[in-house]
Amino acid sequence: MGGAAPARKEGCTEETPQAIVIGFMGGNVAPDDATRNELIVSNRLHASYPHGVHFQVLENRRVEDAHQKVLQLLRDQNSKAHARIILYGHSWGASAVVTLADELKQDGIPVLLTIQVDSVQKKGQNDRLIPDNVARAINFYQPDGMLHGRPAISAANPARTQILGNFRYAYKEAPPSCSTYPWYERMFIKTHIAIECDPVLWTRIENLIRDSLGQPDQIAAHAAPEGAKGAAQSEN
């Protein structure tokens, strides 16, 4: 597993963030595995949004840790009611996405967007039914190999949740970027990891997140302390 660049797992923890973006790794992948697009995308987004957005990448088993972190960041009822949260993940990580969204529903916290990539349902979870606190949800899957993702998700309440689509990808061969993955993954679950290391798909995912977040300068302006805002306004 790659251990090169340290994960930019957390940011904007001192103030209530304007948005929260949490990614979940699949399988038993470590959150600091620099070869994985879950982390690569998070780091690129963090570079574009250095202020006002909390980014974190976690193992899929740490749903409750993610849940508690969200509650810690959203300190009052107003911030909970107006939360802007984006969740994404691959394989068991995609199942964790829906599980966390459902936990946040119990707290009355909305979720802006969920993104599932070749979602594999983990025992005790339900990765098919998107809870009605989620505004928009999208599912990417591939149907081949011994391990493949859920082909369709649905909304618990279609009047409140828009399913953007269930998009099928097919891979005869894994993309070259998969060459850094462990040999056993490339041999036994090559199509399942192909969708994880597909740079075209993950650019699409990154753009979905950017579109949902909005412009970095607007986020930074809202995140700035009142004094800094006044100074910025006086300079214009």
pLDDT (tens digit, 9 = 90+) per residue, 93-134?
A: 999 999 999 999 999 999 999 999 999 999 999 999 999 999
Greater model confidence, 106 or 217: 106
pLDDT (tens digit, 9 = 90+) per residue, 33-43?
A: 999 999 999 99
**pLDDT at residue 57 in the model:** 98
Domains of the chain, first to last: 19-235 (3.40.50)
Three-class secondary structure assignment of the chain = CCCCCCCCCCCCCCCCCCEEEEEECCCCCCCCCCCCHHHHHHHHHHHHCCCCEEEEEECCCCHHHHHHHHHHHCCCHHHHHCCCEEEEEECHHHHHHHHHHHHHHHCCCCEEEEEEECCCCCCCCCCCEECCCEEEEEEEECCCCCCCCCCCCEECCCCCCEEEEEEECCCCCCCHHHHHCCHHHHHHCHHHHHCCCCHHHHHHHHHHHHHHHCCHHHHHHHHCCHHHHHHHHHHC
pLDDT higher than threshold 70 for residue 69: yes
